[in-house]
């Protein structure tokens, strides 16, 4: 499958391929880089194309996740932070294979949520929600017994996720219920989907494990 690479520099990709045994399953195509005409922030200087035929993509993603989180003895040969671009490429290949076309992370997460019958909606920040007038990105919104949620990226796939949760919590000493809002940054679209699924399914234990004191 032909894939546009925007996550990792070409030279760094070449170094990571043999570490995971993918040097014969990913070929860098000699095509002119695609101009960045949309004004979005890119994580590399020049996008380029590859042709991939990864035999066991799920296993590669699992190995990549272990390496990314330091759960393996795989020697990356480079700074850990630079490996993130390689792992994000694997995730991008996965979602493009699944959907059959290139797709932004937020749209992919929304479609996955709809497939799971979650009562969520996709809205434009400045048009449909009370965001600043100069914002132009999509926001996934939803409500459950826990409260309300928003999930978005300000600069598309090349920026961090923002998960906003509005909920009632119990104060530690007074045991009184107060309404509050918090947010965090899921590390990738897989983590974002897990957070969204837990919220929409009212999985309070999931959030208590990370320190949120729900009512």
Print pLDDT tens along the chain (215 aa): 999 998 899 999 998 899 889 999 999 998 766 555 444 456 688 889 999 999 999 999 988 887 776 666 565 555 666 788 899 899 999 999 999 998 999 999 999 999 999 999 998 876 666 666 666 788 999 999 999 999 999 876 667 899 999 988 777 777 778 888 999 999 899 999 999 999 999 998 898 887 777 76
Report the pLDDT value the prediction gives residue 27, as an integer from 0 to 100.
96
d(CA 105, CA 212): 26
From residue 136, give the alpha-carbon distance in Å to each of 18, 74, 120, 139, 154: 40, 40, 19, 10, 8
- Ramachandran area for residue 99 (φ above 0: left; ψ -120 to 50: alpha; else beta): alpha
Q: In what order do the strands lie in the sheet with 2-5?
A: 2-5, 48-52, 26-28
pLDDT of residue 2: 93
Domain ranges of the chain: 2-99, 105-208
User: pTM value?
Assistant: 0.83
Within 13 A of 181's CA, how many CA atoms are on the CB side?
7
Give pLDDT, residue 39: 46
pLDDT at site 157: 64
Contact 22, 59 (CB under 8 A): no
Query: What's the pLDDT at 33?
Result: 63
How far apart (Å, rounded) are the C-alpha atoms in residues 205 and 215?
11
So what's the pLDDT on residue 130? Answer: 67
- Predicted local confidence at residue 193, as pLDDT: 96
Give the pLDDT confidence score for residue 156 in this predicted structure: 66
Spatial contact of 61 and 90, defined as CB atoms under 8 Å apart: yes
Buried/exposed code over 95-124 (b: 16+ C-beta within 10 A; e: otherwise): bbeeeeeebbbbebbbebbeeeebebebbe
Residue matched to tokens 């309300």 = 148
Question: How many CB atoms sit inside 10 A of residue 159's CB?
Answer: 16
| The pairing of beta strand 177-184 with beta strand 26-28 | unpaired
* E strand map for 62-211: 120-124, 138-143, 147-153, 161-170, 177-184
Give the position of tokens 């997460």: 109
Of 59, 60, 47, the residue nearest 17 (C-alpha): 60
């Amino acid at each position: 499958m032909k894939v546009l690479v925007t996550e990792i520099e070409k030279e760094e990709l070449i170094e990571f391929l043999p570490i995971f045994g993918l040097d014969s399953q990913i070929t860098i195509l000699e095509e002119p880089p695609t101009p960045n005409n949309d004004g979005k922030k890119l994580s590399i200087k020049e996008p380029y194309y590859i042709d991939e035929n990864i035999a066991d993509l799920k296993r590669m993603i699992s190995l990549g996740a272990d390496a990314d989180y330091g759960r393996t003895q795989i020697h990356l040969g480079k700074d850990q932070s630079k490996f993130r671009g390689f792992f994000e490429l694997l995730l991008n290949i996965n979602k493009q294979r699944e959907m059959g076309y290139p797709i932004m992370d937020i749209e992919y997460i929304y479609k996955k949520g709809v497939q799971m019958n979650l009562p969520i909606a996709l809205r434009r920040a400045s048009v449909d929600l009370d965001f600043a007038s100069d914002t132009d990105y999509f926001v996934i919104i939803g409500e459950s017994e826990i409260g309300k949620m928003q999930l978005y990226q300000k600069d598309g796939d090349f920026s961090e996720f923002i998960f906003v949760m509005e909920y009632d919590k119990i104060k530690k000493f007074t045991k009184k219920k107060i309404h509050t809002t918090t947010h965090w940054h899921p590390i990738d679209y897989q983590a974002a989907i897990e957070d969204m699924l837990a919220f929409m399914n009212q999985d309070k234990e999931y959030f208590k494990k990370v320190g949120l004191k729900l009512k």
